[in-house]
Structure 1
Amino acid sequence: MFSVAGTTHSQTQTTALPPSAPAAPSAFPAEELAEMMTYRHLGPGSMASAANSLEEYYLEKYTKEGQDRDVFPKLIYGPGAEDAKINGELKLCLYNTRALDALALVAAAAGCRLEPIPALPDGSEDKKGPQRVIGYYVSTAMRLPEAQAPEIKPALKSLPRNVIGTVGLTLGEQNGDILIRDVVPGLPAAQSRAIVPGEKLLSIAEEGATEVRAAEVGQEKVSELLAGEPGSKVRVTVAPPHGDGQPKVVILTRQPGPPPMVPPPLVKVVEPVLDTFAYVTTDVRPHPFIPGHDPNSPVFRHNLTNLAGAAPATPDMPAASPPPTGPLVRIYSVADIMKGDESQVPAWQTDLEKLVMESLEHASLLSGERPVLSLHRNTRVLIVKASAQQHEIIQQIITVLKENEAASAKDPGALQR
């Protein structure tokens, strides 16, 4: 969809400067300061939207690849986390692993890490075994100097024994019909193997009671009727969404669990989120491996040396901690160079990854660990895990693309000349 030189790009909306950002000091152009502030405020402002966008991204990605619904990743919360155990080390369900890695990447870019929230044991038997993970919270302890790091005790979410029984159905409403939005793994509806997402819920009845038509009473009432005493039975009638099959009657036995539609929170953000990036220099650094690069244009880049003693780039920005010895996670604002609508974003990202890999291969920087690129769509931020040398190339690629976009906006024929 694009190359570094010779292509005209359409304009997209740039990432807005957060309201709390200070006025631009004279040493920094406004555009660069806006980019810095986007990085600084990524953590507390977008962790929830990051979780949502990542879940949507993986849902779309693995559905297109034809993978089974039980295989593609889901973010861990509620009953779906029953197989995620803590026993010396964290073990994740297979279908959660990729999404959790991606969310951890977002957290790392914001200078945080994800910490598990285990459920409190319900009884003496539970105390002998590994604890169940019901969610994650975001910890900033790893980014603070050791002497200043507050003591963060394990965050346990108390879940008293629940007297409400559930069948594990998540409902939705469309055109007056009650639809099955999701079937929670491990609960009665999933165990029956008779109910699948997308089907209509036609009616519901307690054992021995009169049947209630779902469309007549609405989603809220149906959710109430699905909940009841653990061990009691409920009869539901479901049908294919387009009327191309016979209705099915399924009898389900309620199990103890949280009420339908009320999963525990996915993450809890622990304040404050400190800035983890040092923007202390503007530098002129042409690079021979990037076609079309203007050697006279300034390249705004990380100072990769002596970060521990770096002075803050703005009055309220704390100095960065020493960089890790392994791969670095950094983020790049790409809002003003992303081309096309949402349907074109996957192709745009594929093209960018191809350009990055070709440039790194040309620079002989692919012999070790390959970089990982992840696009956070809601904030139009590219999250990259790569070595310091690889980041230098990637930073310059993003800079050149921005320069080309700005040039094409001013003069559409400039790049062709």
Structure 2
Amino acid sequence: MVAKIAYLSAEFGLSEALPIYSGGLGVLAGDYVKAASDDQFPMVAVGILYRKGYFQQRILPDGTQQAVYQVLNRSTLPIQRVVHEDGQPLLISVPILGRDVHLAVWCARVGSVPVYLLDADIIENQPEDRALTDRLYGGGDAERICHEIILGIGGVRCLRAVGESPALWHLNEGHVAFASLERLREYSAAGLDFRTAVEAVRATTVFTTHTPVAAGHDSFEIPLIDKYFGDFYWQVGAERSEVLDLGRIGNRFNMTRLAFSLSAKVNGVSKIHSRVSQQLFHQWFPHIPSADIAVEAITNGVHVTTWLSPELKTLYDQYLVPNWASSVSDQSIWNGIYNIPDGELWAAHQGAKKRLIDRLKLPVDLDALFIGFARRFATYKRATLILRDLNRLEAILCSSEKPVYLVFAGKAHPNDGPGQDLT
């Protein structure tokens, strides 16, 4: 069997037909899976099938945002139920407050990469447990910790159940960090002492952190961790304090700290984000200079054929090598870009721009410059930065010779009041 990388993420932006993502974290995960398939990279992924997905945004007459949830019909989604060889549905379970919560396993096949999605909304569960996988990032700390138990512990158990033994585990943000605790439990059950198990897990785990502000990193009060993991500490062969120290920051248990503690490699999603993360993590390790905190930088890319406009694809098909779409990581194929006549490139740009204007039903022409901002409306993303100097902005927007338009798109988390105020 080929050694594989397991990629665990709370969300996957694979397609609008499978709305189980909210923003950049999920879009990156989706593009990562697609790129792995294009390059025939040995990977398997795990997430959650949120029956109500992420919310749809409705703006009320007074300008406030309303969150609207719609139940997804599993029979119409691009997924298949995973079954045993005898045709019986595969079920796994995770421990939550002394009871087993059962999980169905679905698979979204992305080329050569299977993305397994865990689902608690099945008849084997009590009604309150069936709702545990309803919403992406919904509810308070109690619901969030259940999500992350399902995703982390359930993610490991899912891969074991389908016969996967990954050589490396990639944690996409701290939401999935309980996977490392489950792997500690496995090593303990196999007879390894706690310290050896920690080193074994750390040596085979990498961690990508996304969020540049402390408030964006999930953390739980220590009593809540005790409540949900009181029967788990002994199973990893350690004292309670040893397990808590892996994620403790003050009187809370921080999921990013847990992932950091049990990973051999940690990376941010750009050079500047890496530096910001070093400064943030320096608070946990004040005895280490921030520049020496081990956070590498991997600048995000995109899955080219997902995001490329039809107009540009037509040009690429004409001027690049015939197999360019399956070889985008080969720098030499992009030399053909210089063969595209300027006029044809500009016409492709204008064609895409016209589609935008028509879609938004804007009474403007193609000569205008559009500046777009399409992101989640969280305050740290600074959507209103362009409004800081109103005199300068007025001079830019009110030029009759060089018209400029701003286009904003996005939505704020239902629990993020300041973010909603921006919309």
Query: Is TM more than 0.5 here?
Result: no
- Which has the larger helix fraction? 2
TM-score by length of 2: 0.21
Tell which has more relative contact order, 1 or 2 (C-alpha 8 A, sep 6+). Answer: 1
